[in-house]
Chains A and B, each alone.
Chain A
Amino acid sequence: SQQGEEDPQALSIQEGENATMNCSYKTSINNLQWYRQNSGRGLVHLILIRSNEREKHSGRLRVTLDTSKKSSSLLITASRAADTASYFCATDVNYGQNFVFGPGTRLSVLP
């Protein structure tokens, strides 16, 4: 079974709205990372949050981590059409030697 699972699997919102994506995992982690992928393209690193951190911001992105619930959320504020992509969380399960990706959330931002 997968370590990370994203929720929802697909999300469609209007431009300007906020988008929240969740990720759950099963084992203890060292850090959790969020990535963005445009269709058929490479993965772009968005943000890394360590297991001892609870919240992190980067521009319009806000990531939270709840290690007691083994879950993380990615919030994109004031979404833009250009934010349309798939978003994946990845958990570090072996001190930086092995990362497990969740199935991803397909975000569509409608103009």
Chain B
Amino acid sequence: ELKVEQNPLFLSMQEGKNYTIYCNYSTTSDRLYWYRQDPGKSLESLFVLLSNGAVKQEGRLMASLDTKARLSTLHITAAVHDLSATYFCAVDIDMNRDDKIIFGKGTRLHILP
């Protein structure tokens, strides 16, 4: 059974600190996505990682993918309150040549001023 596990599931941190969210998955894939969800809202695409060693950065967020370790990380640098949200990783697996994405349970990030 394919599993996508995020940790931590909940993170409370101070503004200005750095932290990393981890996403482990249990099957071969070279496509991984990160999404952000604000309370009461839908999911918004943050990063698309399409190969081993891929690294993407947007502002204070940086995502990377290690397909051999089946691990992706989302690193937060010098956190600010606006980054408070729930972050989901999702792994793309081929089902008869069609995409099917499996989501982790999400990491709820709360940044304290």
Task: Answer yes or no: are A and B bound together in one complex.
Answer: no
